[in-house]
A and B are shown apart, each in its own frame.
Chain A
Amino acid sequence: MTDRVDKIGSGWRQGTKTFPWPRLTNAQSEKVWGFLLIAPFMIFFAVFFLLPYGMVIWLSVVDWHPRGVTEYVGLQNYVDVVEMPSAQKSMFNSFYYALMVVPISTALSLLTAVLIVSLRSSSLRSFFQAAFYLPGVISGLAVAIIWRFVFDFHVGVLNYFLSLVRLEPVNWLGNIYAALPSLAGMAIVSSNGVAIIIFCAALLSIPSSLYDAAAVDGAAFWRKHWSITLPLLTPAMLYVIVVSTLGALQVFVPVYVLTRGGPVHSTITVGYYIYNQLIFYANAGTAAAAGLLLLVATVGFTIIQFRRFSQVVEF
């Protein structure tokens, strides 16, 4: 079997000796196969991920029509987005919504994770992890449909609970001041699963020897957690905050199912605004411009978060 040796890395040739495959060195065949194997992925990635990036820039400077003439309009779409009251309102609402959801749900997930991790029995730990993650595996649409019932003014359980403690019923989704906070509340209660699991994993990965060492040094309870737990949680915290902010700024399904942007634009978010421009007004140019502005805002936010946290991480 000595002839096997020079076939290392080019065994493909064995069965098809009649076809004159080019002889490749090891390094060359590494390269060729490397590119061949990623080719299917890269083709779809280029067409459906990279091409849209280019297209969206083009769309944002034209007046696009599904059938008919597409004209170059310069920055007019951006001007429209910036000047349109519903667009301004949607930007404001999205940030307000994210500002309500992200801090509260991050803090709540961290608290829950601390409580879960502090359980001694590992089966109870995984039971509670599953209990908190479960509402997260079902679709946003199903969650929103369920909450539409919960929020109902006449027959919803929330107002029933209020009546038990003799409070006036609240028009959760119909009041311009209550509607957006109601959507935020729904998100806070129903989408903590991933964050809780990430915090649990991060907390469990902190070696207990650190705590023992701190105890030997006489560190008190709060000091221990301030100087060990929090710094070691920073990467997980960064991930959770960035991902949940990204999700909150793009919120669409609850708005679509529960309020349709109303009452009086009080719950119109950037996602719903873009959807409206695209589907109801066939205004792909304005929608693209709004999408790009959202992109700039979120990328900016992500970079700021990374900067801020990288200062904290180097302790």
Chain B
Amino acid sequence: MATQFRLNRQTPTLLETLQLRLLPEGSASAVRYLALLMILVLAAISLFPLYWALITSFKHPSDVATIPPSFVLTRPVLKNYIDLMTGSGVANSPVLKWFWNSVFTGAAFTFGVVLVASLAGYSFARKRFPGRDKLFWLIISTMLVPAWSTLIASYVLTLKLGMHDTYWALILPGLASPFALFLFRQFAVTLPDELFQAARIDGAHELQLWWLITLPLSRPVLATLAIFTFTYHWNDFLWPLLVLNKPQIYTMPVGVSIIMFQLKGTGPAYGIGMSAAILMSVLPIVAFILMQKQMIQGITIGSLKG
């Protein structure tokens, strides 16, 4: 029962590759199959809604709400997407403009967050100034405060600053992101000090140290940060819902929620809803697939190394 040496075994079979490490040594193969089955079932449950939305969005509106439902796609059509793009019969719904609003403010927001957080993160990681660590932890601790408690004040503040119904309301309030600062600072402290000393001796000034040394070395973390930030902004619904009231300035989620509210009832409305859900999900999913490894590292930095 004790540790077994498997070094002299032959090439492992498929079953052995799937073998479960945390199970009791020498469990019957039935147990192992059961565990594998369990993980497959859980994954299927977790992915089913997404799959269901995907195939529904490509069904013809008349096939969307059938009993019994069909779980395979027989004849894919783009009707739902076209209906959505042309406003789905809801007055005042420029969907393409909403899409552009989301992309544009998302890009500007991401650029700002990364710029500001990388400057400050570099400073918090590498400069010595009084109150540095206290200030840093003060900023980080705001991440544990529920957003709802200050949301009302942010709403009133942006209203008083005349930012409602403008792009500024979507870009400025979240610009100083504690999460971005934390992620970048945690990376920048790991850079070797010798690099900075050498560059200083060569006459580099502080902004050059940031631009020519820190930023090129932190490309992976910058990419992760950019994707996290853009996805966050792209998915954000509550804040734009509060501060935007004119259909021309809506972001995609706000506009879609208005369409869904107008199209009460079943059938065709669900087809349009599913195509909207898929349209909003494509960008985050593609970004995740491209950057999977870095994003997973980014999540764990926040929890384990803090």
- Chain A residues in the interface with B (C-beta under 8 A): 4, 7-12, 14, 27, 29-31, 33-38, 40-45, 47-49, 51-56, 59, 64, 66, 108, 112, 114-121, 124, 126, 128-135, 137-143, 145-150, 152, 154-155, 157, 160, 189-190, 192, 194, 197-198, 201-203, 205, 212, 215-216, 221, 225, 229, 235-236, 239-240, 242, 246, 249-250, 252-253, 256-257, 270-271, 274-275, 278-279, 284, 287-288, 291-292, 294-295, 298-299, 302
**A34 contacts which of B12, B132, B175 (Cβ < 8 Å)?**
B132
| Interface residue? B205 (CB, 8 A) | yes
Q: How far in angstroms is the closest Cβ of chain B from A281? A: 12
Residues from chain A with Cβ under 8 Å of B49 in the complex: 135, 143, 146-147, 150, 189-190
Interface segment among B74-82, B87-95, B149-157, B216-224: the answer is: B149-157
Given A11-B205, A30-B127, A197-B299, A132:B257 Cβ within 8 A:
no
Complex contact A155–B296 (CB within 8 A) = no
Complex contact A252–B123 (CB within 8 A) = no
| Interface residue? B195 (CB, 8 A) | no
Residues from chain A with Cβ under 8 Å of B39 in the complex: 112, 115-116, 119, 128
Q: How long is the Cα–Cα vector from A131 to B285 in the complex, in angstroms? A: 11
**B300 contacts which of A37, A48, A148, A198 (Cβ < 8 Å)?**
A198
Residues from chain A with Cβ under 8 Å of B231 in the complex: 137
Given A48-B173, A134-B288, A149:B56 Cβ within 8 A:
yes
**A55 contacts which of B17, B142, B156 (Cβ < 8 Å)?**
B156
Complex contact B45–A129 (CB within 8 A) = no
Given A115-B39, A149-B274, A155-B266, A40:B120 Cβ within 8 A:
yes
User: How many residues does chain B have at the interface if contact means C-beta atoms less than 8 Å apart?
Assistant: 114
Q: A4-B202, A112-B42, A115-B42 are in contact. List 20 more A-B contacts (CB 8 A).
A: A4-B201, A11-B200, A30-B127, A34-B128, A37-B122, A40-B115, A44-B116, A48-B174, A49-B178, A52-B157, A118-B22, A119-B18, A119-B39, A130-B292, A131-B46, A145-B274, A152-B270, A155-B267, A253-B237, A284-B156
Residues from chain A with Cβ under 8 Å of B145 in the complex: 295, 298-299
A-B contact count (CB 8 A): 334
The residue of chain A having its C-beta at the shortest distance from the C-beta of B227 within the complex is A137
- Chain B residues in the interface with A (C-beta under 8 A): 1-3, 12, 16-25, 35, 38-39, 42-43, 45-47, 49-50, 52-53, 56, 65-69, 115-117, 119-120, 122-124, 127-130, 132, 135, 139, 142, 144-157, 159, 172-176, 178, 181, 200-208, 210, 231, 234-238, 241-242, 253, 256-257, 260, 266-267, 270, 273-274, 276-278, 280-281, 284-285, 287-289, 292-293, 296, 299-300, 303-304
Complex contact A145–B273 (CB within 8 A) = yes
Q: How far in angstroms is the closest Cβ of chain A from B83? A: 15
10 CB contacts below 8 A, A to B, read A11-B205, A38-B135, A44-B116, A120-B17, A146-B274, A147-B49, A198-B299, A198-B304, A298-B145, A299-B144
Q: How long is the Cα–Cα vector from A145 to B253 in the complex, in angstroms? A: 11
Q: How long is the Cα–Cα vector from A83 to B263 in the complex, in angstroms? A: 36
Q: How far in angstroms is the closest Cβ of chain B from A114? A: 6
**A115 contacts which of B35, B142, B146, B206 (Cβ < 8 Å)?**
B35
Residues from chain A with Cβ under 8 Å of B266 in the complex: 152, 154-155
